[in-house]
Amino acid sequence: EADQSVGKIDQSHDDISQAWRKAYARLEVSTMVGARLVGSVDETTQRLTELRSVADQAFDHAIESDCAIAALEEAVDALRDCACEDPAMIEQINILEKRIDENARISSTVRTDINLMRSRVAVVSLAVTEQGEITNQISGELCSVQTALGSSEGAFQEMVKAAEDVSAILGQIREASGILAR
């Protein structure tokens, strides 16, 4: 009976050992995937920060363009005052004014598009930040699981040692009972 019990214990240890190795292998893969995910989120955050900076600079340039257009419109008004009813000059001023108006329209469209892009970047940045927080939580949990598996490995090794001790004691008991039986 003792031999059967030791055999069952050995089988249980083998099963536990196999399950532990599988769990540890899966944990290593999960940890590796988690690390890649954290790296990806960090890289995405960096790229979004760069994109936000570029969008802010483009918006600043669009504002400067609006200021330049306003200055040109003032200059056209001054030219119109100086034209003194000269038809050729008035025609050139009208052409210049149309081009300025076209540039103002384009500048306004660009500024609106840049503002939309900035808003979208802000929304995506918020989502990526939230994803980063979740990813960091998952990574922390994976580390906790890894620590727990490490602790369980120590306990498992102690169980294996105890089973080996029981086996050795049973061997000694068999020997003693063999000697007594002679």
Q: What is the CATH number of the domain that holds 11?
A: 1.10.287.950
pLDDT in tens, 11-56: 777 777 788 778 778 878 887 887 888 888 888 888 888 988 998 9
How far apart CA 35 and CA 143 sit, in angstroms, is 11
Residue numbers of the domain that contains 139: 2-181
Predicted TM-score (pTM) of the model is 0.59
Task: Provide the number of structural domains found in the chain.
Answer: 1
Q: How far apart are the first and last CA of the chain?
A: 22
Q: For the segment 127-155, what is each residue's pLDDT rounded down to a tens digit? A: 888 888 888 888 788 778 777 777 777 77
Q: Spell out the alpha helix ranges (H) of the chain.
A: 2-82, 87-181
Q: Max Cα separation, the chain?
A: 140
